[in-house]
Amino acid sequence: MIMAGGAGKRLWPMSRRQQPKQLIPFIDGRCLLEIAMDRLDGVVPTARQLICTGEAFRSPILQTLSGLSDDQLLGEPEGRDTVNAIGLTAAVLHEQDPDAIFAVLTADHLIEPQDRFKTALRTGFELVAADSRRLVTFGITPTYPATGYGYVELGKPVDDFPAASSTVQFVEKPDEGTAESYLQAGNFLWNSGMFVFSAAGFLDALQEFVPESAEGLHTIAKAWNGPDRQATLERIYPTLPKISVDYAIMEPASRDAERPVCTVPMDIQWLDVGSWTSYGETLPDDPDGCRSNIKAVNLDSHNVLSVSEDPEHVIATVGCHDLVIIHTDRVTMVCPASQAQRVKDLADAAGDSLL
């Protein structure tokens, strides 16, 4: 299951209601969701790939991904954070197959090389097939002391699975000094937000740690194959407690000796395309650090990111430094690179007419 529910307002104005972040065709003409699905080639057949997203995104996603069927989309009436997106998937799958095992992946990451990702994902499936109670996460080998990511601490290797380790703890975004110590220690990895669970194992953990969600999702799953599916979903889902899977399940489970939590390291290049500055990392830079997806003319300018939906459009700057310039047919957005995270607030300030 690929989680693709976010509105992606930090990538406004290209990210908007009918073209959320995961559908912007700005990676060599392809969107992030297409890339995420292609990553599964050879591991999970297309027919067994699910997307959990906002119901409002159903039509644009199906139009973009022509090979996807309507029943492969799990449409949330509103976002209730990751524990419920995953719980909905687990509950629906468990009704179909009590022994189901599923991976939870993301729609906004770029990952290379593909073969290492696939090897790690197969290991995750094998771990859960061997013990359905296991809650498996994937850790990214850190390349610098990041303060914007969560971390997982590795413990001892898992018996019969030398490529996996027990998980000692999950740590939320640390300060710079702590992040540096994690990098030096070598047994802390970035928390990727990707997982493998059995449907039964996840629902059991959900019942223990978030019983309100477990009960509501059970009711939704019972109605899933009947005429009351949508009405039941719309009535119950918005009432579920809004909380992330890390806070709700993974952190308390890692402190519970009865629940084996494992981490599979991924030694990969991993980019979370969550802002314009991170998107800029996908583009080549010139000697002055300027990057663009179109023709740009920069005179005495440094570290300028120029992006346009129109390949014929030209963005020109003189004496500009550390800027982000985004052009669409309706909006041109300019901000200092240091303020790129505030684009979400800017989108809210612009109002519904420009979303």
Question: Which phi and psi (to 5°) does residue 297 adopt?
Answer: -120, 120
Spatial CB neighbours of 46, under 8 Å, sequence gap ≥ 6: 37, 40, 67, 68
- Domain span at residue 14 reads 2-272
- My answer on whether 240 and 307 are in the same domain is no
Task: Establish whether the linkage from the previous residue to 98 is cis, with ω within 30° of 0.
Answer: no
Q: What is the DSSP string of 179-200?
A: HHHHHHHS-EEEEEEEEEEEHH
Query: Of 3, 13, 7, 54, whose CA–CA distance to 276 is shortest?
Result: 13
327 in the same domain as 234? no
Tell me the CA distances in angstroms from 213 to 6, 160, 186, 198, 223, one per residue in order: 20, 34, 36, 17, 16
Tell me what pLDDT residue 353 has: 77
pLDDT the model gives residue 162: 95
Which pLDDT value is given to residue 18?
Answer: 83
Contacts of 212 (CB under 8 A, 6+ apart): 240, 241
Residues 86 and 37 reside in one and the same domain: yes
Q: 325: which strand partners?
A: 306, 334
Number of CB atoms found within 10 A of residue 29's CB: 8
Measured at the CA of 129, the angle between CA 165 and CA 67, to 5 degrees, comes to 105
Last-in-domain residue among 250, 272, 294: 272
Domain count, the chain: 2
Q: Is 63 left (phi over 0), alpha (psi -120 to 50) or beta?
A: alpha
Domain boundary among 223, 250, 272: 272
On whether both 305 and 261 belong to a single domain, the answer is no
Same-domain status, 73 and 204: yes
Count of Cβ atoms closer than 10 Å to residue 257 Cβ: 5
Query: For residue 88, what is the enclosing H or E element?
Result: helix 81-96
200 and 299 fall within a common domain: no
The Cα 90–Cα 199 span in angstroms is 4
Instruction: Supply the angle between the helices 81-96 and 211-222 in degrees, to the nearest 10.
Output: 40
For the stretch 143-177, pLDDT in tens is 999 988 899 999 999 999 999 999 999 998 899 99
232-282 residue pLDDT tens: 999 999 999 999 999 999 999 999 988 999 999 999 999 989 899 999 999
Residue 26's nearest CA partner among 143, 110, 149, 125 is 110
Give percent above pLDDT 90 in the chain. 92
How much is the pLDDT for 172? 87
The answer to whether residues 203 and 345 belong to one domain is no
Q: Are residues 7 and 147 in the same domain?
A: yes
Are residues 105 and 223 located together in one domain of the fold? Answer: yes
Please give the model's pTM, rounded to 2 decimal places.
0.93
* CATH number of the domain within which 140 lies: 3.90.550.10
Q: Which of 272, 289, 321 is the last residue of a domain?
A: 272
In our burial notation (b when 16+ CB lie closer than 10 A, e otherwise), range 103-134 reads bbbbbbbbbeeeeebbebbbbbbbbbeeebbb
* Pair 244, 350 in one domain: no
DSSP state of 30: B
Domain identity same for 194 and 298:
no
- As given in the structure block, the two tokens for residue 181 are 């110590």
Amino acid 86 reads I
Same domain for 320 and 254:
no
Q: Look at residue 76 in the predicted model and tell me its pLDDT.
A: 97
* Average pLDDT by stretches of 10, the chain with 355 residues: 90 92 93 95 94 94 91 96 98 97 95 96 98 97 91 96 96 92 95 97 98 98 96 98 96 93 95 94 97 97 97 97 97 97 94 81
